[in-house]
Amino acid sequence: MLRGKENNFRTLILALGGLFILIAFVYADTSDTFVNVYDSNIQFIQTPAEFPASVANTPINQSGIISFLATATDDGGYKYYLAVCKTDAIIAGNNAAPTCINGAWCISNETNSGEQASCSYTIQSTDTSTSYSWYAFVCNKSPTAICTSSSQGSGNSGSPFFVNHKPTLLSVNNDGSKNPGESITFSAQGSDPDAGNSLKLLICKTPGISGIDCDGGANDTYCTSLYSGTSPACSYDIPIPTEDKNYSYYAYVFDNFNLVSSNVISGSFVVKNVIPVITNISLNSGYDISLVQRGVTDVVVTGTITDNNSCADITTVRTSFYRSDIGFSGCDDSSKADTNNCYPDVTCELMTYGNKCDGSNDVSANYICHISVQYNADPTDGNSHNIKYYDQNWRAVLKVIDNNGQTSYLEVASGVEIMSLISMNIQSSLDYGAVIRGHSTGGDPVVLDIFNTGNVGIDIEIAGSAMIGEGGSIPVENQEYGISYFTYGLGTDLSENFSEVEINIRKTLLPISPSIGKLYWGIEIPANLKAGSYTGTNRVVAVLGEVDEW
């Protein structure tokens, strides 16, 4: 019996040994690879494809997404996974997603048999190659999951997919300070890791882009270049008006697949201050000026000031008004004021209608200046026979200062005349007082002051009439006159006809103090004249004096 148990034990050992040897033979044929067990029950019914399809000239941009699509069916009705691996190696997962042995681009969610599966991959910055191969598998989700053999798709949507990498902006320069109306050019230097790419330069006013444009749109954009190698450039026409100051800019480059550089370079450029321009100067609207006797005449000067930095840049506008021989240099300062020939540094004002200054977006404005011209301002009409400065005229200069202290001047294109004004003021009555008949005023003549209230030298004419009263009349020739003190009998007899008197009242030089001429009067009363009041009329006429005696 013991021998029977020993035989059974030997038989068992032999059987196990043989089984062991059998197993050894089996595994002795394998190497380091795993055995892929294919289940012929899952299969592609739609070839895997990239979406979007990428080829060399339509790559996927860095940070972009590439998707993979495929459709499969499983005879057992199991759900499946689409796995896109980096190599042709995968392990099915029992009731789980498969595993790409050397890494996956992506693996889809479980998908019903017969429905399309998809998965996506975001291109990373570490994906520095130009193209990457992919191997697509479908694996069912079963307790004993199996995968198909790989497929690399076909055509443009097949493996590999192509990657476009971001360019780098190395530097940006501009060609210096500009005036409004000029063009500033921005030049960039960039680099691109993808051979053959061209770069486009975008210059924004504020940081930030939206797509391939500045995020503020056209109003936020200085300029955009064409695609041009690695040295793109673009120009910006500085509009008029543009304020003089520093302007910031933000530069980006895009490659020809509209992939923006990873960096932005900021800088600034200067719009320079320009000198204001004076135009449309009008002096008294081009008309000659007639003054008012012993008064002030308002003479108006207008002009247009254009500043390409904007009319708001203008701080001061003044005018000087002068006789032409004096010139602006002789009338450019208030210390040179002379009512005869120079009205300097009169402040002008912005006009409140018409071409006003509407702020920093407006380029020009009209100004108006009021000059109070005195009655004694030198006349410039006439000729050498009658007017001293007949060969001159009156001119005006507009002077403009902007907020940078830049100054410009312009004289009116055509001067105007100040017309001669002949005028006098005189007391309206002459009283001899009480004179005894048969007597005269003797050595006590009555004085009549004659004030020259024009702008020329004057002489006078005199004529008179008999004095009439209740007792008769006093003949006109009983009155005598003279331009200096006289005793009656030594003066000039008054006449009913005009007689010119060379009193030579000079041209007034100070308006508050008119030149004065004195006319002395005396009278003799006829001895037989009845006592009473007697009245008459004497005429004193101002006449233009000789030029040499002004």
Q: Binders of another protein among 69-128, rule CB under 8 A?
A: none
- 334 or 497: CB nearest another protein: 497
Q: Which residues does 93 contact at the CB level (< 8 Å), separation at least 6? A: 99, 139, 141, 145
State the pairing for strand pair 60-61/161-164.
Answer: parallel
Smallest separation (angstroms) from another protein to the CB of 247: 18
Query: Please, which contacts does 349-354 make with residues 24 or more away whose CB atoms are closer than 8 Å?
Result: 349/317, 351/302
Q: Residue 258 CB: number of other CB atoms within 10 A?
A: 11
Out of 151, 420, 478, 515, the residue judged to bind another protein by CB under 8 A = 420
Tokens of 193: 């890791």
- 214 or 291: CB nearest another protein: 291
Which of these segments, 58-66, 207-215, 330-338, 527-535, binds another protein (CB under 8 A)? 527-535
Smallest separation (angstroms) from another protein to the CB of 489: 19
Q: How far apart are CA 477 and CA 466, in angstroms?
A: 8
Smallest separation (angstroms) from another protein to the CB of 162: 49
Which of these segments, 164-172, 220-228, 316-324, 532-540, binds another protein (CB under 8 A)? 532-540
Smallest separation (angstroms) from another protein to the CB of 365: 10
Length of the chain: 550
Work out whether 422 is an interface residue with another protein (CB under 8 A): yes
In this structure, what is the dihedral angle of CA atoms 193, 198, 203, 207, given to the nearest 10 degrees?
A: -30
Residues 504-523 that bind another protein (CB under 8 A): 512, 514
Smallest separation (angstroms) from another protein to the CB of 206: 26
Out of 76, 359, 537, 546, the residue judged to bind another protein by CB under 8 A = 537
- 11 or 372: CB nearest another protein: 372
Out of 180, 190, 276, 445, the residue judged to bind another protein by CB under 8 A = 180
- 32 or 548: CB nearest another protein: 548
Residue 496 contacts residue 431 (beta carbons within 8 Å):
no
- 163 or 418: CB nearest another protein: 418
Residues 272-291 that bind another protein (CB under 8 A): 277, 279-282, 284-287, 289-291
Q: How far apart are CA 112 and CA 83, in angstroms?
A: 15
Out of 75, 115, 298, 333, the residue judged to bind another protein by CB under 8 A = 298
Residues 457-486 that bind another protein (CB under 8 A): 461, 464, 467
Residues 434-453 that bind another protein (CB under 8 A): 448-451, 453
Q: How far apart are CA 336 and CA 243, in angstroms?
A: 36
Q: How far apart are CA 483 and CA 503, in angstroms?
A: 6
Number of residues that bind another protein (CB under 8 A): 87
Residues 215-244 that bind another protein (CB under 8 A): 240
Smallest separation (angstroms) from another protein to the CB of 237: 10
Q: What are 517's strand-pairing partners?
A: 450
Residue 397 contacts residue 283 (beta carbons within 8 Å):
no
DSSP string, 461-485: EEEE--EEETTEEE-GGGEEEESS-
- 188 or 494: CB nearest another protein: 494
Q: How far apart are CA 66 and CA 51, in angstroms?
A: 6
- 45 or 510: CB nearest another protein: 510
In this structure, what is the dihedral angle of CA atoms 170, 176, 182, 183, given to the nearest 10 degrees?
A: -10
